[in-house]
């Protein structure tokens, strides 16, 4: 058991742990004098204090990664595969430990935390096939005696900046393909729940990953800006809110970097009149309130078409009192607290805002929140939400589900397509023809047909459209491999020197 895991498995009540960086294969205490508080959201108490990196500390980390890159890029594909199989094995053995860290700092219930680790592991499993994924093309005899082949090479030092809501899985989306492709990685995790990243770093070292290939630096805007401006960082992957995603994309690309920046979302789930209402209600409750609505793929708005609306509201209303909100370590709990007190207050404020704007408050989560100092909020449901309301427009990122009523399929699709976000979308119907037309019509990156949260499996890529993604390539899967590598095409011939002559014409291919 490592030091980080001990912190969460041993009884250290009342202790505030110091959470430090991981640079060049070891824990490094920050020297900037700046730090941030980390909480257990179920208890509402501070459990950690995380070091914030300075510009100089980011620079030292990049230097270590740069040194490691010189040898890591030469490590054979078979050796990299071997290390990835060991990483997979160790992370699998420590699933429960990682999940407990997530529950302790994020608040999500343990079963959900285990699900997060499982989905992250799928990306690592995909990366175990890196020799196949990096295979280039080869064309023999393109011209007489000339062969052409393509190869993909790593970029160098690449960085990842990640959000609070998936403290293990989203980093895995980035570091696993980046490292498998031969890059060295600098991770700047969310300062709200940073421990899972350091624990992962310890396991990667144990798996045999050379020092300096994976590094973790904690921090805030100072660290992010130092990453975006660093001349030796070739590419940046970002996942977080839309304003910061846009900023990271614009600043990083202006500094000459390759950037993929995934932003926020307002995912609509359309329920057509022919849908199975019980199935749609189950999906709406699961997709809307799972992980307390703090998922970028959460269902945040239901679009009920025609007579589906009244039945749907009734079916959801029936289910709400049964949702068990409580401490994530209690196996009975289905939904935990929100990540911070400030975020809980902000999310709760949307209930009054919705009422003031004219929406109908069907359920008010403040009335059903558990007692105690945790950052609690129960499930809320707002009916008659209109597109001009803030509760429609804003990404609330909490357990507040809205319902918008429309008369036709066309109106429902127009709402989705006019929305500035385009992450996930779902349609619930029994009509295959309409579902097929929907996947053709809709402007969003990930589409669910009777699936509320259509997160692609690891061998497809994840990403939205419009303000949900800045950059050209989606994350993980084949596009992840493309993002973390650069192509090269080699044209080669081995002629008899005796036949060599000067020819100033443009090379012909026949
Ligand atoms: P956030 O944008 O506040 O933070 C993300 C990262 O950016 C963190 O590491 C944070 O330290 C850093 N950051 C915050 N403010 C910054 C600033 N002013 N300058 C530079 N860096 C800054 O996001 P969050 O609250 O941690 O996460 C929730 C958001 O992430 C939601 O909007 C959610 O939809 C989005 N998200 C999107 C996806 C996706 O795949 N599209 C996945 C998960 C989360």
Scan for tokens 């609505």, then name that residue: 293
Q: Which atom of ligand 1 is nearest to the CA of 265?
A: 34
Please give the structure tokens belonging to residue 41.
Answer: 């959201």
Please give the structure tokens belonging to residue 441.
Answer: 């019509």
* CA separation for the pair 440, 442 (Å, rounded): 6
pLDDT digits (tens), the chain, 510 positions = 456 666 665 556 678 999 999 999 999 999 999 999 999 999 999 999 999 999 999 999 999 999 999 999 999 999 999 999 999 999 999 999 999 999 999 999 999 999 999 999 999 999 999 999 999 999 999 999 999 999 999 999 999 999 999 999 999 999 999 999 999 999 999 999 999 999 999 999 999 999 999 999 999 999 999 999 999 999 999 999 999 999 999 999 999 999 999 999 999 999 999 999 999 999 999 999 999 999 999 999 999 999 999 999 999 999 999 999 999 999 999 999 999 999 999 999 999 999 999 999 999 999 999 999 999 999 999 999 999 999 999 999 999 999 999 999 999 999 999 999 999 999 999 999 999 999 999 999 999 999 999 999 999 999 999 999 999 999 999 999 999 999 999 999 999 999 889 989 988 767
* CA separation for the pair 64, 24 (Å, rounded): 6
* Pocket mutation for ligand 1, best pick of 221, 228, 240 (most atoms within 8 Å of C-beta): 240
* CA separation for the pair 98, 94 (Å, rounded): 6
* CA separation for the pair 153, 4 (Å, rounded): 34
Contact criterion met (CB below 8 Å) for 266 and 272: no
Axis crossing angle, helix 95-106 with helix 195-206, rounded to the nearest 10: 160
Residue 296 a catalytic site member: yes
* CA separation for the pair 395, 49 (Å, rounded): 29
pLDDT of residue 98: 98
Please give the structure tokens belonging to residue 503.
Answer: 């020819």
How many whole angstroms from 277 Cα to the centroid of ligand 1? 34
Residues lining ligand 1, Cβ inside 6 A: 161-166, 170, 188, 190-191, 220-221, 224, 239-241, 244, 262-265, 296, 395, 397, 423, 464, 468
Q: Which atom of ligand 1 is nearest to the CA of 245?
A: 2
How many whole angstroms from 238 Cα to the centroid of ligand 1? 8
Sign of CA dihedral 285, 296, 294, 241: negative
% of the chain exceeding 90 in pLDDT = 95
* CA separation for the pair 459, 485 (Å, rounded): 17
Please give the structure tokens belonging to residue 276.
Answer: 């199975």
């Amino acid at each position: 058991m490592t030091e980080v895991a001990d912190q969460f498995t041993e009884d250290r009540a009342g202790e505030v742990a110091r959470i430090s960086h991981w640079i060049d294969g070891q824990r490094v205490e920050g020297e900037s004098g700046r730090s941030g508080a980390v909480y257990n959201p179920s208890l509402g108490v501070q459990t950690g204090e995380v070091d914030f990196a300075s510009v100089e500390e980011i620079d030292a980390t990049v230097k270590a990664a740069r040194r490691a890159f010189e040898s890591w890029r030469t490590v054979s594909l078979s050796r990299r595969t071997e290390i990835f199989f060991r990483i997979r094995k160790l992370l699998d053995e420590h699933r429960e430990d990682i999940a407990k860290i997530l529950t302790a700092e994020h608040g999500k219930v343990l079963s959900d935390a285990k699900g997060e680790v499982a989905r992250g592991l799928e990306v690592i499993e995909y990366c175990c096939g890196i020799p196949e994924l990096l295979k280039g093309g080869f064309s023999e005899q393109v011209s007489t005696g000339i062969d052409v082949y393509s190869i993909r090479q790593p970029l160098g030092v690449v960085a990842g900046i990640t959000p609070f809501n998936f403290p293990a899985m989203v980093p895995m989306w980035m570091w696993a393909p980046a490292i498998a492709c031969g890059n060295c990685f600098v991770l700047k995790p969310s300062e709200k729940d940073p421990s899972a990243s350091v624990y992962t770093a310890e396991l990667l070292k144990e798996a045999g990953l050379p020092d300096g290939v994976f590094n973790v630096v904690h921090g805030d805007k100072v660290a992010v800006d130092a990453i975006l401006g660093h001349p030796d960082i070739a590419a940046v992957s970002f996942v977080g809110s839309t304003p910061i995603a846009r900023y990271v994309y614009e600043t990083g690309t202006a500094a000459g970097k390759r950037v993929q920046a995934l932003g926020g979302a307002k995912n609509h789930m359309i329920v057509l009149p022919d849908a199975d209402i019980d199935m749609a209600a189950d999906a709406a409750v699961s997709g809307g309130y799972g992980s307390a609505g703090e998922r970028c793929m959460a269902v945040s708005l239901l679009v009920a078409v025609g007579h589906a609306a009244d039945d749907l509201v009734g079916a959801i209303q029936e289910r709400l009192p049964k949702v068990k909100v409580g401490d994530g370590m209690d196996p009975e709990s289905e939904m935990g607290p929100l990540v911070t007190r400030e975020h809980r207050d902000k999310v709760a404020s949307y209930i009054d805002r919705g009422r003031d704007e004219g929406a109908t408050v069907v359920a008010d989560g403040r009335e059903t929140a558990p007692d105690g100092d945790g950052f609690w909020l129960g499930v809320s449901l707002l009916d008659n939400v209109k597109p001009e309301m803030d509760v429609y427009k804003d990404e609330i990122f909490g357990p507040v589900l809205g319902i918008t009523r429309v008369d036709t399929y066309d109106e429902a699709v127009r709402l989705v397509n006019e929305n500035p976000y385009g992450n996930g979308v779902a349609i619930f119907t029994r009509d295959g023809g309409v579902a097929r037309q929907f996947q053709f019509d809709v402007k969003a990156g990930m589409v669910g047909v009777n699936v509320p949260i259509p997160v692609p499996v690891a061998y497809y890529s994840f990403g939205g459209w419009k303000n949900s993604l800045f950059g050209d390539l989606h994350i993980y899967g084949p596009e992840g491999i493309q993002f973390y590598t650069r192509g090269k095409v080699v044209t080669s011939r081995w002629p008899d020197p005796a036949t060599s002559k000067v020819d100033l014409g443009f090379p012909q291919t026949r």
